[in-house]
Amino acid sequence: MPRKDLKPIGDLIQATGRGLDCLAGGFTIDPWKPVELSLITHAHADHARPVATRYIASKASVPLLRHRLGQDICIQGVDWGETLLLGDTRVSFHPAGHVLGSAQIRVEREGEVWVFTGDYKPDSDPSCEAFELVPCDTFITEATFALPVYRWPDGGTVVAEIIDWWQQMKRSNRPAVLFAYSLGKAQRVLAELRAYTDELVYLHGAVAPMTQLYRDAGIDMVPTELIDPKAPRQDYAGKLVLAPPGASGSKWMQRFPKASTGFCSGWMRVRGNRRRDGYDRGFVLSDHADWQGLLNTIEATGATRVLTTHGQSATLVRYLREERGIDAAELRTQYTDKSAVTPPTYEQASR
């Protein structure tokens, strides 16, 4: 448990020009500039960059990281909860519930415990390891959806909505093209669909490799088939197609005449985002913690100090200070959400 009587012995983890540095351990977490030793939370591109000589990550994320950063990278995979002695610190990796292999990194020195979450989600998700609460003294949390408007429905409920939309398109003899991030979100949809159907889903070329890596890891998903751009055009009327958001409006979409389009994202919780971006349907499915999830997790860690990164950092700091009386501050990082959506202000989202 965190030590309430402990006075911090300094910033064990600091945001610098190259990443989150731990000088006492001789490593950098999720760096964006060249370093010797990098500890990686997960395989999304804003957290996993090809900038280190050596990498350490959870064993489950190693295949994804090799796919993203190169098969020849020097990487050590560690088991969940396994303790590493790095410099003057004891380090361990714990499930973050964000995507397959995503980790929170626990760093301890002289009895003081810091936890960096990377990105995390305490909600149920059949496509990745369940989030593990890690008690600490200082908690570094993302703030991607740190506004009261962002409250997630159950994932199964959202996928039931996707099924209903798909059935509507079958009756209308139209393709249903669903846009979802190629790592994490697409595989969650495929895993959640397993409770409703075993029908074939077609995949864009950017989604297929990650999906195969999830299958190799034992994640149960509906059957899929790659859409080969060199193969003769076929009729996808009534079929469900998964593609990355970047494919929206591209030449690739010409193979799906009269398609209905949908987008899976927490950003779809905000009225107007779906219409502005031109999607027919918006499905509120996120791989991040929602507003209540952030607050509940922060409280449950027992942390006496909270540092925030990317997203609505200032909003979360303001709320924690004014409403919860918690010592909170921002950390400046280069982590981002993968969407270009502009979120509402705190005042707009609180109405």
Q: Which helix (H) or strand (E) holds 28?
A: strand 27-29
Q: Residues 291, 144: one domain?
A: yes
Q: What percent of the chain has pLDDT over 90?
A: 84
Q: Residues 104, 63: one domain?
A: yes
**Parallel/antiparallel/unpaired status of strands 75-78 and 35-39:** unpaired
pLDDT tens per residue across span 222-244: 999 999 888 888 999 999 999 99
User: What is the mean predicted confidence (pLDDT) over 199-211?
Assistant: 97
Q: How far apart are CA 138 and CA 8, in angstroms?
A: 9
Q: What is the mean pLDDT of the chain?
A: 91
Count up the domains in the chain and report the number: 2
Q: Does position 332 have pLDDT exceeding 90, yes or no?
A: no
Q: Does position 339 have pLDDT exceeding 80, yes or no?
A: no
Which burial class, exposed, middle or buried, applies to 225 when counting CB atoms under 10 A from its CB (0-12, 13-18, 19+)?
exposed
pLDDT band at 342 (very low <50, low <70, confident <90, very high): very low
Q: Residues 143, 291: one domain?
A: yes
Q: Quick check: helix, strand or coil at residue 171?
A: helix
Its pTM stands at 0.91
φ, ψ of residue 65 to 5 degrees: the values are -70, -40
Q: Residues 291, 269: one domain?
A: no
pLDDT band at 275 (very low <50, low <70, confident <90, very high): low
Q: 224 or 16: which carries more pLDDT confidence?
A: 224
User: What is the mean predicted confidence (pLDDT) over 164-177?
Assistant: 97
| Number of other residues whose CB lies within 10 A of the CB of residue 162 | 22
Q: Does position 261 have pLDDT exceeding 90, yes or no?
A: yes
9 within a domain of the structure (yes/no): no
The per-residue pLDDT for 335 is: 80
Using alpha carbons, list the distances in angstroms from residue 203 to 68, 185, 215, 264, 274: 19, 13, 14, 15, 22
Q: Does position 186 have pLDDT exceeding 70, yes or no?
A: yes
For tokens 């297929």, the residue is 208
User: What is the mean predicted confidence (pLDDT) over 256-264?
Assistant: 96
Q: Could you tell me the residue range of the domain that residue 128 belongs to?
A: 14-150+287-349
User: What is the mean predicted confidence (pLDDT) over 202-213?
Assistant: 97
Q: Residues 204, 262: one domain?
A: yes
Which burial class, exposed, middle or buried, applies to 305 when counting CB atoms under 10 A from its CB (0-12, 13-18, 19+)?
middle
Weakest-pLDDT range from 2-11, 129-138, 327-336: 2-11
Which residue, 266, 283, 300, sits at the end of a domain?
Answer: 283
309 within a domain of the structure (yes/no): yes
The per-residue pLDDT for 311 is: 87
According to DSSP, residue 182 is labeled T
Residue of 128, 136, 135 lying closest to 58 (CA atoms): 128
25 within a domain of the structure (yes/no): yes
Using alpha carbons, list the distances in angstroms from residue 274 to 187, 223, 263, 282, 303: 22, 28, 8, 6, 37
